[in-house]
Structure 1
Amino acid sequence: MTDKPRNWQEDMKLCQKATRGPWMGFDDSDGHCIGTKDIHPQLKAHAPVVTLATSIRGKSIYISQNDSDFIIASRVKPFLTGSYK
């Protein structure tokens, strides 16, 4: 595998589009979720990042496209997980 030069501007755009951190895992009435560590002032709760949503159609997992892109990139771009070169 060949390492390509980092595109730091593109990496930072990806980070800025994701839900502002820090994130944490927590349990709610639907199960285990990921949300913001801080309470969102308008929601009066943790802002959801990955959560189980319940509706009349049943249960489904909610995640925004930006947060999904960020999570996927963190597995392939070590700088996002704190392992800089």
Structure 2
Amino acid sequence: MRKEIGIGILTGLIANVVGVYLYIMAFSSDAFMTTIQKSMAQGYFGKIVTLGAILNLIAFFLFIKKKQDYRARGVLMITVIIAVAVMARKFF
């Protein structure tokens, strides 16, 4: 059970990173690291991370469809952790 949840967490993290990368490559004219640095300096990095988490939806529903509930639980857990971290960074 723990292994399955761990796989889901890892999948969620990878999906989020890939989502951030794809979002930056699609909508930014600057280089990847330049965009990350600018977004952190200007305070909208959390929005980019949140938009990158859209790929977690695909992973979550894929695991649900395959009846891999513990992996889906891991993806959901990491998505909630990312959301809380983004919210905490915004308000504190």
Bigger share in strand: 1
Q: Does TM, normalized by the shorter one, top 0.5?
A: no
Query: TM-score scaled to structure 2, two decimals?
Result: 0.27
Structure having greater relative contact order (Cα 8 Å, sep ≥ 6): 2
Richer in helix (by share)? 2
TM-score (norm 1): 0.28
